[in-house]
Structure 1
Amino acid sequence: MPSVSIDLNSDLGEGFGTWTLGDDDAMLELVTSANVACGFHAGDPAHLLQTCRAAVANGVRIGAQVGYRDLAGFGRRFIDMTPEDLFADVVYQIGALDGLAQTVGSAVTYVKPHGALYNTIVHHEKQAKAVVDAVVAYDPTLPVLGLPGSVFLSLAADAGLRTVTEAFADRGYTPEGTLVSRREPGALLSDPAIVAERVLRLVERAEIVAVDGTVVTVDAESVCLHGDAPSAVEMARAVRSLLTERNISIAPFVS
């Protein structure tokens, strides 16, 4: 049976310099876990520190959102990296964010890959293993967040890491349970009411309707609400309101 408690996570800290992306302050009042950028796909030290400080003020858990070193492409382009280089990049990112988080009385409590890296390691074993090895080397007590059925979560479990499955409130799904490419129709959802009902069905019945109408089973401990969509805050409010109305507990997956 699906859990009556769910974590809500969001990608935050993605501003850079004078550029602001999304309303992090508003999202941090609604979610329970913050996937904070680590400076490779987005974010600069000042933005990341500010996001960590705001997360602490709202009792939100901080996760390291590690990605490819691709500021120009926002980490949404595949990079054919060697496992050795990817390992080093992931350790570097976790350590950088963890250092910032500790200055405001917190720490990195989990790791979630971002964008193209997230999608790549659903199937790419060498890159998935590099990410797993990096987390184990940095702190083997850190949980990892990923797509159910992914190679990444399988290798992470084999390595002794706690694996946390997630679903996406505002992303289209294929019949195979993977995410529809952002370049394809149906990749993004933006209607708060539709998204809220979708999350409710996910939590209560472990189901998501794919773009072709297929009902896909998705058993998730956490639901991602992207913070950079135009209606991100409205969607998050609608989701939280409906779940609360149905007496579903909203709590982080890490204590």
Structure 2
Amino acid sequence: MQLNCDLGESYGRWTLESESAAMPHIDQANIACGFHAGDPVSIQQTLLLAKQYNVSVGAHPSYPDLQGFGRRSMQCSEQEIIALLHYQIAALEGLAKCAGIVIDYVKPHGALYNDMMSKEDVRRAVFSAIGSYHRSLPLMVLATANQDEIEEQANQAGITLYFEAFADRCYDDNGQLLSRKQAGAVHDIDKTLQQVKQLCESGSVTTHSGKILQLQADSLCVHGDNSQAVEALTAIRKMVEQCR
């Protein structure tokens, strides 16, 4: 199991100092593309930091929602979703190419990610966008109970999936991430470490109601904007390495 983190999310004077602390401990960096966070300079700096630590880079596109940090759903047509994804991935790919870096995969951010997992039309649009990009890129999606169904849809679209679990987010009984509007949606350090340990030992998480949910994950996400989780990265890294 790989360890990934959402990074490149500084913007102007608003900087996330936790990013430089996270990079040495991860395998995959999901780098913002400017629509929810990230300006050209901070994105470029994050790319160079990933190169320094030999970390795989993924594009982290979102709805065009700087004010809401990409966490608000938007009513976009299939054509709009395809275009906004191509636009963001291509922008990051251009910056990466200038730095001698190759983009390895795509992971949607925030509301776009959640909508992709819960709404058939949005998932179809995202799959179409990735499948029609000028070169093949794997898509990172949430590991859930209905992975076979989602994988079949991906196969029809001609794309490869990476399934991920979350270290610092609480799950509902359907295997979706608990809404950030609900109490307990983001774990503290102790609960984060407990969840990572459970994932490593039994491939499962305990949901908000106490149900045990089995997950098959290729990668484990720790959020770069969650300073508590970043502080726990050394311990998380050790657990993940013991899993391998």
Q: Report the 3-state secondary structure (helix = DSSP H, G, I; strand = E; otherwise coil) of the residue aligned with 2:16.
A: coil
Question: Residue by residue, what CA displacement relative to the aligned partner does 1:69-101 show, whole Å, maximum 9, x if unpaired?
Answer: 000000000000011111100000000000111
Question: What residue is the counterpart of 1:214 in the other structure?
Answer: 211
Question: What residue is the counterpart of 2:140 in the other structure?
Answer: 145
Correspondence 1:158-197 to 2 at 5 A: 158-191=156-189, 193-197=190-194
Q: Is 1:67 paired with 2:59?
A: no
Question: What residue is the counterpart of 1:101 in the other structure?
Answer: 96
Instruction: Please tell me whether the aligned partners of residues 196 and 239 of structure 2 are also in contact (alpha carbons under 8 angstroms).
Output: no
What is the percentage of aligned positions where both structures have the same residue?
Answer: 39
AA of the residue aligned to 2:26: V
Q: What is the CA–CA distance in structure 2 between the aligned matches of 1:205 and 1:180, rounded to whole Å?
A: 21
* Residue 66 of structure 1: how far off its partner (Å): 1.1
What RMSD, in angstroms, separates the aligned Cα atoms of the two structures?
A: 1.6
Question: Residue by residue, what CA displacement relative to the aligned partner does 1:177-212 show, whole Å, maximum 9, x if unpaired?
Answer: 111000101101121x43223212212311100111
Q: Report the 3-state secondary structure (helix = DSSP H, G, I; strand = E; otherwise coil) of the residue aligned with 2:130.
A: helix
Question: What residue is the counterpart of 1:50 in the other structure?
Answer: 45
Question: Residue by residue, what CA displacement relative to the aligned partner does 1:35-63 show, whole Å, maximum 9, x if unpaired?
Answer: 00000011011111110010011010100
Q: What is the CA–CA distance in structure 2 between the aligned matches of 1:230 and 1:34, rounded to whole Å?
A: 16
Q: What is the CA–CA distance in structure 2 between the aligned matches of 1:160 and 1:85, rounded to whole Å?
A: 20
How many matched pairs? 241
Q: What is the CA–CA distance in structure 1 between the aligned matches of 2:49 and 2:111, rounded to whole Å?
A: 27
Sort the Cα spacing of 1:185 and 1:98 in 2 relative to 1 into closer, same or farther, 3 A. same
Name stretches of at least 5 consecutive residues in structure 2 with no aligned partner.
none
* Residue 162 of structure 1: how far off its partner (Å): 1.0
Q: What is the CA–CA distance in structure 1 between the aligned matches of 2:114 and 2:13, rounded to whole Å?
A: 29
Higher mean C-alpha deviation, range 80-89 or range 132-141 = 132-141
Q: What is the CA–CA distance in structure 2 between the aligned matches of 1:34 and 1:53, rounded to whole Å?
A: 11
Q: What is the CA–CA distance in structure 2 between the aligned matches of 1:194 and 1:241, rounded to whole Å?
A: 16
Question: What residue is the counterpart of 2:227 in the other structure?
Answer: 230
Structure 1 length-normalised TM: 0.90
Q: What is the CA–CA distance in structure 2 between the aligned matches of 1:157 and 1:190, rounded to whole Å?
A: 37
- The counterpart of 1:156, out of the listed 138, 151, 154, is 154
Q: What is the CA–CA distance in structure 2 between the aligned matches of 1:100 and 1:177, rounded to whole Å?
A: 35
Instruction: Please tell me whether the aligned partners of residues 173 and 207 of structure 2 are also in contact (alpha carbons under 8 angstroms).
Output: yes
- The counterpart of 1:83, out of the listed 78, 87, 95, is 78
Question: Residue by residue, what CA displacement relative to the aligned partner does 1:225-245 show, whole Å, maximum 9, x if unpaired?
Answer: 00111313212122112334x
Q: What is the CA–CA distance in structure 2 between the aligned matches of 1:105 and 1:140, rounded to whole Å?
A: 17
Q: Report the 3-state secondary structure (helix = DSSP H, G, I; strand = E; otherwise coil) of the residue aligned with 2:173.
A: coil
More helix as a share of residues: 2
AA of the residue aligned to 1:236: L
Higher mean C-alpha deviation, range 167-176 or range 148-157 = 148-157
Question: What residue is the counterpart of 1:92 in the other structure?
Answer: 87
Q: Report the 3-state secondary structure (helix = DSSP H, G, I; strand = E; otherwise coil) of the residue aligned with 1:122.
A: helix
Structure 2 length-normalised TM: 0.94
The structure 1 segments of at least 4 consecutive aligned residues displaced by more than 4 Å after TM superposition are 150-154
AA of the residue aligned to 2:139: V
- The counterpart of 1:121, out of the listed 107, 116, 133, is 116
Higher mean C-alpha deviation, range 235-244 or range 166-175 = 235-244
Sort the Cα spacing of 1:154 and 1:120 in 2 relative to 1 into closer, same or farther, 3 A. farther
Name stretches of at least 5 consecutive residues in structure 1 with no aligned partner.
1-5, 250-255
Higher mean C-alpha deviation, range 226-235 or range 52-61 = 226-235
AA of the residue aligned to 1:66: P
Q: What is the CA–CA distance in structure 2 between the aligned matches of 1:113 and 1:30, rounded to whole Å?
A: 22
Instruction: Please tell me whether the aligned partners of residues 140 and 161 of structure 1 are also in contact (alpha carbons under 8 angstroms).
Output: no
Q: Report the 3-state secondary structure (helix = DSSP H, G, I; strand = E; otherwise coil) of the residue aligned with 2:132.
A: helix
